[in-house]
Structure 1
């Protein structure tokens, strides 16, 4: 029964490319117009067929994780892209949206967005064994979108360019006090402190991240210029001349966009500047990807620009600049995926094969989402007054040139060591 429903789904969906599907019965069917490299997939049992039919948006990832849905030729990424290029979502049954919406609402009710829930959700992802991140991130452990100014850039070069790009927008001046909301393993805070000589307070909810960041600061003799804290951004007090947040926004939840920007407004000096870098989508969505919600980033929400602009305006900020970076994250995810795949055996030893397939699913679907689903990175530059930011973007080239010179003079080559 389910194999017939699957066959009908693939026949309607896959009209471009070449897909060969082997069902649990052993029967093989070919779909598409035969163009391109053939992707071959296999359902190992009827349970896998049933799961895919009843809830494909979640069960597809789970079936790949447990090995009952297999890729026999090509890669997981090849299959995901083939389905996206054929617009598979148009052919999903209507009840899938209802299931996804129910799961989304029930999860939000369960977490209730208390501070302890936020810490637990951050720990779910960022307190995994640090050796995992060492396998696929750059040497500075930048776990956010890189900035590819040139096609021939390495991941390391593009991540340095990202730090330079956002720091230039921050317009740091001598004596400024800087706050980083969501600091990861400390790379950006250390970059700002070391190059500009200003003090940076950086907060995270990950115990592992703050420990590593503090160790790195000690190694680079930057303890006096940095203060890495295990602290919720809601609990930060004081006044800061500059605030920066790189991809924390996606983790605070739609219910807390107003809270975050109102808090930031209260912390920012009247002549201050704030830079916010985050993943975005072209229009609001009720739900997130069910697989990522369950296994990767529980409680996250990828916002539309309109959702963020509303919260920014409500807080009282002026939007001084908005830059959209459409394809940089697709390239970043591809680099991460390729590096992870070369370390598969090490990751399997650290966890197991099922975890590796889960991580591959996360990286492959993330890459394809930025390449084919119109996801993007946006960077807001915010202020309280009109005259604190130059009238044109010409200053960026000057600031970047200055930072590049400082990199040559001051920057410590710091490979994260465990």
Structure 2
């Protein structure tokens, strides 16, 4: 699994740049356009939040665990719009501090290690994008990927009553995924081998599930699948809108970009990491169908 150092690079390092671009509680996960790309990014993110809250029957007084909560956009929605009570968890110190500053109950804690005696049980649980970080390349190579997911679903099982629902949104490898041995950061810049190598560097400590079926099977027998839908095309649009926002001029943000220049020239690994500002590995992988993206709703049986 990605550790706190890994996630602090991916999220804390870009924290201030992100919030200057996307807002204090901006959403760093795929929105829900459902083919209507005339929607603004903010409208599509709110549509996603409504879909999740409706699917999980979240209402006034519902106690919700927001796993891998990011900058707390879903927590904001369910507390402001539904009157729910939310606890958010993240491994990024930067994210937690930003959320706390904005008045949200967000803690630095590994959501895979939560037990009922920590916070009690919940009416509903969400994990938007967290699963992508739960299995490392090393764990996958050691044949432990499915066990990692089964252990996680056991954690969820213990935190919900019978009939309680869990929403998961995750990227997965799709039909055009290549063998790991082909990944090469020195390959042709337009190749899947290069793009996937950048992905590994962008998200250290993380390896995706092979299709939604792997996740669904690992949820058995404690959960039944309520709904499944692909958000691949929605995520392509989401990333395109993000990149516009990241490039929009803001003096403080561009000064932060400039502050990275010395490291760019002295650190080869950092050059690979900031390559994502020129090309989005995620977007290319979705376009090439190397990756897909799924919204999954489960119910405890």
Q: TM-score range by the shorter chain?
A: 0.7 to 0.9
Q: Given the alignment, which residue of 136, 159, 169 partners 1:267?
A: 159
Aligned runs of 1:325-404 on 2, under 5 Å? Answer: 325-343=231-249, 345-352=254-261, 354=264, 357-361=274-278, 363-373=279-289, 375-385=291-301
Aligned length: 259
SS of the equivalent of 1:328 reads: helix
Unaligned runs of 5+ in 1: 1-112, 218-225, 386-418
Q: Structure 1 length normalisation: TM-score?
A: 0.57
The answer to whether the 8 A contact 1:326-1:374 is kept is no
Alignment equivalent of 2:129, drawn from 247, 257, 268: 247
Q: Normalising by structure 2, what TM-score?
A: 0.78
Shift of 1:242: 0.3
Change (3 A) 1:154 1:138: farther
The structural deviation recorded for 1:269 is 1.2
Highest Rg: 1 or 2? 1
The residue matched to 2:105 in structure 1 has which SS?
A: strand
Return the match for 2:169 from 277, 282, 285: 277
Counterpart Cα distance in 1 of 2:38 and 2:224: 36
Q: Which of 1 and 2 has higher RCO (CA within 8 Å, sep 6+)?
A: 2
**Aligned counterpart in structure 1 of residue 7 of structure 2, from 99, 110, 122:** 122
- What's the Cα RMSD here? 2.4
Of 203, 207, 212, 1:297 maps to 203
1:148 aligns with 2:33: yes
Alignment of 1:154-233 (within 5 A): 154-217=40-103, 227-233=105-111
1:257 to 2:149 alignment: yes
Counterpart contact for 2:59–2:83, Cα < 8 Å:
no
- Does the 8 A contact of 1:241 with 1:271 survive in 2? no
Q: Which runs of 5+ in 2 are unaligned?
A: 184-195, 265-270
Q: Which stretch shows the higher mean deviation, 190-199 or 327-336?
A: 190-199
1:388-416 deviation line (CA, Å, top 9, x unaligned) = xxxxxxxxxxxxxxxxxxxxxxxxxxxxx
8 Å CA contact 1:243, 1:275 repeated in 2: yes
